[in-house]
Chain A
Amino acid sequence: MTLTGQTSTRKLLYWGSHYLMIAAFVIFALFPLYWLLKVSVTPNDILYTEGVRLWPSRTSWENYAFVLTQSNFPHYFLNSVIVSGTTALVTTLIAALTGYAFSRFAFRGKVIIVALMLITQMFPLVMLIAPIFKILAPLGLTDSLTGLIIVYTAFNVPFATFLMQSFFDGIPKDLEEAAMIDGNTRFEAFRAIILPLTLPGVAATLGFVFTAAWSELLFALMLVSSESASTFPVGLLSFVSKFSVDFGQMMAAGVLALVPACLFFLLIQRYLVQGLTAGAVKG
């Protein structure tokens, strides 16, 4: 009797602290986003006088209205959607092919290619900006969305490949071998049987790459000089570098820019955990 009483008290204590810690993590994760939102709906005249209040005495959507109708932001936004969307699609396609080869074939040079991909994850990307600029300029690929897409795709392919490989590793080889005995080529088997089974993996990779490309600032800043090819981080920076920084408008633009990345991420984060489960054990 006393024993069960003891266990239930301990259980209560455990779950109490469990939920308390969970709550702390949720607050820590969300508070900065809440603050971003708060600043974006604060009218300019009380931005500083009510700077530290948890919620302003009155709110307005004027910052959002300005950003959407008076600024170039919708244009930057569209550029970012084009760049990130295309990068995600192309990267995932290339990574799926490479990841499949890594998962299913033993071939000469495989170790070298894997090592090459690992090394690309290690060096400071900053040092590539000047050389990439010099390579892309004669090809007419600076100051263009195509150039950005090519660069982002190359940067994201290595990690995306390892991610896709871990998904393929989780699927039994017998499946496509059976299809190949029935007279299909391996590529047909890959396309018709294996790829549909890895759809969660494809979704996770798409989302991961989209988010990465959506946030990239340094290369966008250096490779693009005109307004017409600017992506949103560059556009956001133009709010900062203007003579008088308009923080309310900048935060409103920031909230708008957050929406697609967060939506994408909320949809795919489950698959990301699932996908890594397959690959994580091998280390």
Chain B
Amino acid sequence: MNTGTQTGKLPVERRGGFSRKFSGIIEPYLYVSPALVLIIAVMLMPLILGLSYAFRDIRILNPFSGGFVGTAHFEALISDQAFLDALANTAWWTFGSLLFQFGLGLVLALLLNRQFLGRRLVQALVFLPWAVPTFLSGLNWAWMFNPVVGPLPHWMTSLGLMAEPFNILSDPDLAMWGPIIANIWFGIPFFAITLLAALQSIPKELYEAASIDGATTRQQFISITLPFLAPTIAITLMLRTIWIANFADLIVVMTNGGPADSTQIVASYIFTQAFRRLDFGYASAIAAVLLVLLLAYALSVIALRRAMTHTDS
């Protein structure tokens, strides 16, 4: 990329100007191309291939499989009670986790946004769960819920929450709380980090001006902090909803969908179909349905947000 504009001769300068202009047009594509090639090859192509599996009979252990079956998988899905239960469980898992992750994450971010003694150490420590491999935290939480080797059932008994220590992971009515609590533990730092970043980007002058005008802390929170946080909250909530709905690791490790499928979410059901029963065709059909549902959710949130900002202005 030699730009010979310093020579002073007109023709050369003109040619230099041209090549500079030309390179200016293709330059962004040069920067973007490695990422684009990689994403197309490793994510987009497999995605399309995976969607095609949804219409084919692909079972790894059956050498005669591979044929086209049309919409047979989807027809089977509609009457698959385990799938319908998994849909309901997914909603419960996702919004149960999200509500607490967000609520506690916001409180933590607000606490960390004030200057106090030991703040930097505290920040490093409370963000730590985010770095723990999910597989490991799943095993560890399952261990802690076990009354033989874990303290949690005994504490809950002392608090009167339980008649006697038992493992909530083996009670179909309560089992979902296990992975949800582990997920809350793991996910608070994410919200705290993003919300703290948003809080720190609010101009301090606004608060100074407000307190000169005599606004109380609560008034400042409602009229300065919340409006500034709103865009970040909307985006992170949407992205996290989708992410948590897809997040099967903790459930697979802690309960494996049990007992009696009471913690089976759609993502873990896909995993079960694909890797326990090796039925890639059916698994891909479930995944396709999940993908459509999540896209519909994302689009409706975006549309809702657009409608709200339009009425505002």
Residues in chain A within 8 A of chain B (CB atoms): 15, 18-19, 21-22, 25-26, 28-30, 32-33, 35-36, 39, 47-48, 51-52, 54, 94-95, 97-98, 100-102, 104-105, 107, 110, 113, 116-117, 120-132, 134-135, 150-151, 153-155, 157-158, 161, 183, 185-187, 211, 214-215, 217-218, 222, 233, 236-237, 240, 247, 250-251, 254, 257-258, 261-262, 264-266, 269-270, 272-278, 280-283
Are B193 and A276 touching (Cβ within 8 A)?
yes
Contact A47 B149 (CB under 8 A): yes
Asked if residues B194 and A122 are in contact (CB atoms below 8 Å), the reply is: no
Tell me the bound Cα distance from A224 to B220 in angstroms: 54
Nearest first, the 3 A-B pairs at minimum CB distance are: A283-B231, A276-B197, A127-B287
Partner of A130, one of B1, B39, B58: B58
- Tell me, rounded to whole Å, the shortest Cβ–Cβ distance linking A198 to chain B: 14
Contact A218 B44 (CB under 8 A): no
Instruction: Give bound CA distance, A125 to B270, whole Å.
Output: 11
Complex Cα–Cα for A9 and B127 (A) = 31
B interface residues (Cβ-Cβ under 8 A, vs A): 1, 3, 5-6, 25, 27-29, 31-32, 34-36, 38-39, 41-47, 49-50, 53, 58, 104, 107-108, 111, 114, 116, 120, 122-137, 139-141, 143-144, 147-151, 154, 185, 188-189, 193-194, 196-198, 200-201, 228, 230-232, 234-235, 239, 242-243, 246, 248-249, 267, 270-271, 274-275, 280, 283-284, 287-288, 290-291, 294-295, 298
A131 touches B140 (CB 8 A): no
B34 with A277: CB separation less than 8 A: no
Please name all residues of chain A whose beta carbon is closer than 8 Å to the beta carbon of B107 when the two chains form the complex. 21
CA gap between A32 and B193 in the complex, in Å: 20
Contacts of A280 in B (CB 8 A): 194, 197-198, 201, 232
Q: Is the CB of A262 within 8 A of B128?
A: yes
Chain B nearest Cβ from A261, distance in angstroms: 5
Can you name 9 extra interface pairs (CB under 8 A) apart from A32-B141, A127-B287?
A32-B144, A51-B148, A116-B39, A116-B44, A126-B274, A131-B46, A254-B139, A270-B123, A272-B193
Chain B residues lying within 8 Å of A100, measured Cβ to Cβ, are 31
Chain B residues with CB under 8 A of A275 = 197
With the chains together, A220 CA to B46 CA distance in Å? 17
Interchain CB contact (< 8 A) of A273 among B197, B249, B284: B197
Q: Given contacts A47-B149, A131-B53, is CB(A215)–CB(B135) below 8 Å?
A: yes
Q: Find chain B residues with CB under 8 A from A97 CB.
A: 31-32, 34-35
Residue of A nearest to B141 (CB): A32
Q: How far is the CA of A76 from the CA of B50 in the complex (A)?
A: 30
The complex places the Cα of A155 from the Cα of B133 at a distance, in Å, of 17
Find the B residue at minimum CB distance from A36: B140
**Minimal beta-carbon separation of A201 from chain B (angstroms):** 12
